[in-house]
Amino acid sequence: MTAPVAQRRVRISRVAGRFLVFDIDDVVYIRRHHGICAVLTGTMPQNPTQNLFLGLPVELQAEEAQLLVDKGVGYVADELSEHLSLLTSADDTARKAYLQHLKQLRRNAQLAFEEEKANIQAKHQAKRKVAAKPAKAAEGEPSSSSTKPATDSESTSLPDTTCVVPKSPPKESLPAITPTTSSALISVTPSAAATEPPVPSSSPSYLLYRFLNSRGYYFTPGLRFGGDWSVYPGDPFRYHAHYLANYYGWNEEIPMLDLVTSGRLGTAVKKGFLFGAQKPSPAGGEVSDTPKQDSANQGGEVRVFCIEWAGM
């Protein structure tokens, strides 16, 4: 039986209309416990000129940010105004604690650096010992030329005029710590303005996203396969996408060309074309006549269908 997970409040930074998460612990938490993968958008410090391997921060889609807000595990903060106001209003005690936090991170990194260096030196010494054993065995066998007595001319040698200059110890470059977040300095308590939902609850695509997320599905952007979402039965690190997902209104007419093209494209990449809609709630607040109404979807039941193209 697994231990209960402590509740976290994920800080979602809103920057120029984009929803970003900078804390690596928050990124791991929302992926592991809420099925939100997001997209890496930051550059790698060691190689910033390439865009194949990316790093923090991760960018959330509006539906993903809305889901975290609805679940009460995240809040949206206006990074431009709130971050600067919290930094300028911090007292001396908070600043000293933040500096101490940075020093502790530096010490931890230095200890890890020294431990790795000691392991490398131990490996080199072990290799030298193994290479020295055959050399000693060869020196123990006397040769015929070595048994010949040395003459006076041979024993006389010129004085050694070489001077051994001691090597100066190499300068060790200590690791420089650049925190990806200032959570140790700013307050983690969201303000009243920060709890505002990022997108309206009536967003059409959000209804389908929330419905499938509540059933354990994972999502990534589906533009490369011609859909709104690529839907996975588990973590994308373990599974391939099973569906391409699009959302339509309950009374919206679906063009036949969309069904044909999406169905054929999905089948070509070994995926099904999934589309869904939410049934409107009965007028006057009456009980829905559907057999099962999803409690996580206010307004009515969400119905989904899957199409696979077959040969004609």
Tell me whether residue 83 is one of the annotated catalytic residues.
no
Among the listed residues 206, 209, 217, 271, the single catalytic one is 271
DSSP tag of 153: H
Backbone angles phi, psi at 243, to 5 degrees: -140, 155
For 277, residues 6+ apart whose C-beta sits below 8 A from its C-beta are 208, 247, 248, 249, 250, 252, 302, 303
Interacting residues of 193 by C-beta distance below 8 A, sequence separation 6+ = 78, 82
* C-alpha span between 48 and 54 (Å, rounded): 9
Instruction: Give strand pairing partners of 161.
Output: none
Q: Would residue 240 show up in a list of annotated catalytic residues for this protein?
A: yes
Pairwise CA distance, residues 231 & 216, whole Å: 10
Give residue for tokens 């308590």.
Answer: 189
- The DSSP annotation for 51-91 comes to SSS-EEEEEE-HHHHHHHHHHTSEEEEEIIIIIHHHHHT--
Structure tokens at 155: 């024993």
The DSSP code for 16 is: T
Spatial separation of the C-alpha atoms in residues 214 and 210, rounded to whole Å: 6
DSSP run (H or E) holding 10: strand 10-15
Asked whether the CA dihedral 140, 145, 148, 154 is positive or negative, the reply is negative
Active site residue 232: yes
The active-site residue out of 240, 242, 248, 270 is 240
Three-state SS for 212-251 is: HHCCCCEEEECHHHCCCEEEECCCCCCCCCCEEEEECCCC
- Among residues 218, 232, 243, 247, the one annotated as catalytic is 232
Burial class from Cβ neighbours inside 10 Å (0-12, 13-18, 19+) for residue 12 reads buried
Q: Which amino acids are annotated catalytic?
A: 232, 240, 271
